[in-house]
Chains A and B, each alone.
Chain A
Amino acid sequence: MSTSADLVRLVYVSRNLVPPAEAEAAVQAILGASRRRNPAMGVTGALLFSEDCFAQSLEGPLPAVEALFEHIQMDARHDQVVLLEAGPISRRDFGDWSMAFAGHCSDAALCFEALVATPSESSSRVLDVLRGAVGRAKRVLA
Chain B
Amino acid sequence: MAKKKFVVGCFDDEEVLFPAVSKVRTAGYKIHDVYTPFAVHGLDHALGLRETSLHTAGFIYGVTGTTTALSCISWIFTKDWPLNIGGKPHFALPAWIPITFELTVLFAAVGMVLTFCYISQLAPFVKKHHFHARSTDDLFVMVIECTDKTNAEDLQAFLASNGAVETDIQIAEEGWWLGRYDKDEMRFENKQIVAA
Are A and B a genuine interacting pair, yes or no? Answer: no
Q: Which residues of A contact B (CB under 8 A)?
A: none
Q: Which residues of B contact A (CB under 8 A)?
A: none
